[in-house]
Homo-oligomer: A and B are copies of this chain.
Amino acid sequence: MIRIVLLGGGNIAYHLANHFQKNDLTELVQVYARNLDALKFLDPSILRTDNLNSLSKADVYILAISDDAISEVSKRMSNVKGLVLHTSGGKTIDELKGNFHKGVLYFPQSFTKGILVDFSKIPVCLEAQNETDMELLKKLASSFSKNIYEINSEQRSYLHVSAVFVNNFVNHLYAIGNEICEAHEIPFEILHPIILETAQKVQKLPPFKAQTGPAIRNDQQTLEKHKALLETHLKELYTILTNSIQTYGKKL
């Protein structure tokens, strides 16, 4: 049984707390939040504190807090013995300040409070400073998922920026498609199946092999027609993304 103290009251903390409470491999011994109101969702049986000097003894301390707070909060955990983890994709392992053992437990996923998370489908990316810590981390990770990856801080920063492209930027393109449809009284649901199909295709095929459309075909007539339909801002995006496909689409 891995004894865990969880720090944080946001989305990730919420989902991790739910997981640790239900799981046989883990025991959630305490949850810290700056503001205890954030912990109303917790089972009443679970210890809670808003004081970093009153953290319970545990095997693992998990900081599920905002990126900017990791350094500050970890500095104030100087008394802690055990493995201290952060859960940020964007921060190196050295963002943890203190004499404790350090590690990272990163889920490349966006979490929303209230929307159920199936951790078994989410990969877990691990980093530790020695093999013993990594063994403990892997045991902890196995409570979530079979998809476990050792990813160092430098790789994680690139993974994080890749996730911005395939998640945040992709969602923005969905929003643009939605906007164009709404402006012309076209139900956006017409595009739901192709959105899903495009996402499913790259689960099996490298994305560059799945590239279709007027840009990769260099279908000038359609490209010009499309640009003529779009207002300035979208025309600019259309042109830049088309050029990118034409210049980099084949070798990407």
Contact = CB atoms under 8 A, between A and B. Distances in A.
A167 to B, nearest CB: 5
Interface in A157-213: 157-181, 183-203, 206-208, 210-213
Given A174-B202, A175-B211, A206-B178, A229 B168 contact: no
A90 B244 CA distance: 22
Contacts of A165: 173-174, 176-177, 180, 238
B210 A171 contact: yes
Contacts of A196: 199-200, 203
Interface in A50-71: 67-68
A209 to B, nearest CB: 9
Contacts of A158: 180-181, 183-184, 186, 229
A45 interface: no
Contact of A163 (B160, B194, B203): B194
Interface centre among A164, A183, A208 (most CB of B within 10 A): A164
Contacts of A229: 157-158, 161
A1 interface: no
Contacts of A2: none
A178 B159 CA distance: 10
Interface of A: 67-68, 90, 108-110, 121-123, 125, 147, 149, 151, 154-155, 157-181, 183-203, 206-208, 210-216, 219, 221-222, 225-226, 229-230, 233, 236-238, 240-241, 244-245, 247-249, 252
Given A167-B198, A185-B155, A191 B108 contact: yes
Q: Which 3 pairs of residues, A with B, have the shortest CB-CB distance?
A: A168-B213, A199-B199, A174-B207
A186 to B, nearest CB: 5
Interface centre among A154, A165, A240 (most CB of B within 10 A): A165
Copy tally for this chain in the complex stands at: 2
A199 B233 CA distance: 24
Contacts of A155: 184-186
Contact of A212 (B168, B184, B208): B168
Contacts of A176: 162, 165, 248, 252
A159 B177 CA distance: 8
A193 B122 CA distance: 6
A202 B171 contact: yes
A136 to B, nearest CB: 21
